[in-house]
Structure 1
């Protein structure tokens, strides 16, 4: 009888394919093997090894004496306290003390009063050209933004680039920023306390950049600036007159690029909003 060890690799492969085509699921040994007995022998051998390696009672007592107990607080550290009114006041002081966007960036990077900073990799500050007087504001950094340290990175940023290009703009020709400068863990929504702490910094960005028009992307920015609780579908597409840090600015909301990636059918709505935004921004630029 021909044995498997006598076959060439190609012959062995062909034989296995034949068995598979024939419906063979298991290959049997030439001689029966008692697997139960084999397992019992292996288990007895492992038990023997454990008995040999187990320390003596005296050794166990010595090890107990040398073991330093770990305080329960280290095993289960208490959660970081949420920011309070003092943190909001500190944020206002830090933001108002900045006389330029560069100073504001330094102040934001040095600020430690928001818990979101503890879990984020980067402090994501605005980018682009403040002289354009056009500001695009998103909600908060995502994982790509947090990794790259700039707003609107990754697929969302690529789609935003195409949206801006469609109305004759680019990310280099506008200001891109987020309300929240640090990525919340798991991309969750920021809490009201975290939002209150970040408010002075975004309002100071607007005051220093002096935009004439704001393009708000998504539910969170629309609700944040309009003070309403509706969805982006009810808040989008209409110009609003806002007062931010004592100065008037016009704002219009539309869908966030992520919402368009999730539901491409909404691109028609976003396109209407972009055309309305572009028309007003161009008119503002001609009279600025």
Structure 2
């Protein structure tokens, strides 16, 4: 086993350590019913947004990518995760977070008693940047308009921004993720405030495993807030 593989395994094991996690469970009944008009409206709005992205013009990302990577998970979830953009594996499959970073994300969620299929996941940009480069500022700005619509449609109670690109798309480029992560913030979209947590992207943790302790602290804060708000997953 190489040193890099050992470091990655250490990350996965630490995020999956049950001895560090305290869970708070509620005995209140879960309301699993949605009114039919509300569900149909959300479905139609998501379909329209997806169609708009499929028909975006003059976009280098779209021209070089294989597939649109729109979203994954439960569109009725109150937890929404926003990543950076698709990598090679995501571009092939057409879903976000299915490569190595996706495997780590699954472990991170499991460590705080969350199943991936119970939350909603998307990215800032929906097409793979050439050579997996970071999205350029103009691309982040352009796609942030679609992202804001996406967030408004899903209407989460907790919004998790993973990585600097996700942070920049909603908060601008003048702040640094190393200083902003781990603190609850409010972002206003269409006159509505969304409770937001900024944290490191799983791909960054694979490259910088010494930062995992900060992400673990962020995850515990997210779990705590989920329980405080009595969000059922």
The TM-score normalised by the length of structure 2 is 0.77
Q: Which has the higher contact order (CA 8 A, sep 6+)?
A: 2
Cα deviation for residue 170 of structure 1 reads: 1.9
Counterpart CA distance in 2 for 1:176 and 1:256 is: 13
Q: Secondary structure at the match of 1:161?
A: helix
The CA deviation string for residues 14-53 of structure 1, in whole angstroms up to 9 with x for no partner, is xxxxxxxxxxxxxxxxxxxxxxxxxxxxxxxxxxxxxxxx
Cα distance in 1 between the residues matched to 2:200 and 2:51: 31
Residue in structure 2 matched with residue 101 of structure 1 by the alignment: 46
Q: 2:115 aligns with which of 148, 152, 170?
A: 170
Measured after TM superposition, the shift of residue 99 of structure 1 is: 4.9
* Aligned position for 1:215: 160
CA change 1:240–1:117 in 2 (3 A) is same
Inter-CA distance 244–178: structure 2 relative to 1 (3 Å threshold): same
Unaligned runs of 5+ in 1: 1-97
Other-structure match for 1:16: none
Per the alignment, in what secondary structure is the counterpart of residue 152 of structure 1? coil
More helix by percentage = 1
In the alignment, structure 1 residue 235 sits paired with structure 2 residue 180: yes
Matched, 1:269 2:214: yes
In the alignment, which residue of structure 1 is the partner of 2:36? none
Are the equivalent residues in 2 in contact too, given 1:145–1:152 (CA < 8 A)?
Answer: yes
- Superposed CA RMSD in Å reads 1.9
Residue 224 (structure 1) aligned to one of 169, 181, 188? 169
Q: Which has the larger radius of gyration?
A: 1
Tell me the CA shift for residue 151 of structure 1.
0.3
Partner of residue 27, structure 2: none
Aligned residues, how many?
191
Q: Residue 143 of structure 2 aligns with which residue?
A: 198
2:71 to 105, 119, 126: 126
Measured after TM superposition, the shift of residue 282 of structure 1 is: 2.5
Q: Tell me, yes or no, if the aligned pair for 2:160 and 2:196 is still in contact at 8 Å.
A: yes
Q: Deviations over 1:125-158 (max 9, x none)?
A: 0111122211010011111111111000111100
Whether 1:280 aligns to 2:225 is: yes
Gaps of 5+ in 2: 1-42
The secondary structure found in structure 2 opposite 1:196 is helix
Structure 1 residue 144 and structure 2 residue 89: aligned?
yes
Equivalent residue for 1:184?
Answer: 129
Whether the 8 Å CA contact 2:84–2:162 is kept in 1: the answer is yes
Does structure 2 conserve the Cα–Cα contact (< 8 Å) formed by 1:105 and 1:125? yes
> 1:30 aligns to what?
none
Q: CA contact under 8 A between 1:130 and 1:211: conserved in structure 2?
A: no
